[in-house]
């Protein structure tokens, strides 16, 4: 799984690398936030896409998320599991952004998935199945979709439960339901 940063384990390394570039505490903190931005921008954008937010809206939400992160760290608040913190704040700000936009995406109105680069003919079937899986995922009920997208970004059940304010059992049921649907779509 491509998630080397679990919880806060990679943060000391980030901090020490940043410290070698700058001496001023504020600049060091800014540098640290920018590095976290680089690392989590795409995972967070992917999660925000489960809200039906456009890329442009998602990018704007991310700016707010990382400005909040800077202030969070500047106030000396907890650094424990910053990944979970980022997804939680992105979740809340994503909801606000969608509310502001007045969108109702309960059943998903995301843009159709783009066709990846041309494939050999023998991969076409596989790609079609995968595209179908994505379409099914985007058509899931909102809470199921969020669970699935958070899990896809490597968050554990307990973290997902915390972000979405669900029980652990509800998270596992939601993921089971979603994956069963996706599995069914591959059978057709």
Pull the structure tokens for residue 6: 């679990």
Q: Examine residue 103 and tell whether it contacts other proteins (CB under 8 A).
A: no
CB of 113 to other proteins, least distance (A): 5
C-alpha span between 38 and 81 (Å, rounded) = 17
CB of 89 to other proteins, least distance (A): 14
Q: Examine residue 37 and tell whether it contacts other proteins (CB under 8 A).
A: yes
Instruction: Candidates 78-86, 89-97, 108-116, 159-167: pick the segment binding other proteins (CB under 8 A).
Output: 108-116
Q: Examine residue 130 and tell whether it contacts other proteins (CB under 8 A).
A: yes
- Residues near other proteins (CB under 8 A) are 26, 30, 33-34, 37-38, 41-42, 45-46, 49, 55, 59, 62-63, 66-67, 70-71, 74-76, 113-114, 116, 127, 129-131, 133-134, 137, 148-149, 152, 157, 172-173, 175-176, 179-180, 182-183, 186
């Amino acid at each position: 799984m491509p998630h080397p940063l679990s919880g806060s384990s990679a943060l000391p390394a980030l901090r020490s690398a940043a410290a070698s570039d700058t001496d001023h505490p504020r600049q060091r903190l800014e540098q640290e936030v920018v590095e976290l931005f680089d690392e989590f921008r795409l995972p967070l954008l992917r999660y925000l896409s489960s809200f039906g937010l456009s890329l442009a809206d998602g990018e704007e939400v991310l700016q707010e998320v990382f400005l909040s992160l800077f202030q969070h760290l500047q106030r000396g608040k907890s650094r424990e599991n910053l990944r979970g913190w980022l997804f939680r704040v992105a979740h809340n700000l994503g909801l606000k952004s969608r509310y502001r936009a007045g969108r109702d995406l309960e059943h998903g109105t995301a843009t159709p998935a783009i066709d990846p680069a041309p494939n050999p003919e023998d991969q076409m079937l596989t790609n079609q199945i995968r595209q179908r899986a994505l379409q099914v995922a985007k058509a899931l009920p909102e809470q199921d979709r969020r669970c699935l997208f958070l899990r896809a970004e490597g968050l554990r059940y307990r973290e997902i439960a915390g972000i979405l304010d669900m029980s652990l059992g509800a998270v596992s049921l939601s993921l089971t339901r979603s994956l069963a649907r996706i599995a069914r779509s591959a059978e057709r």
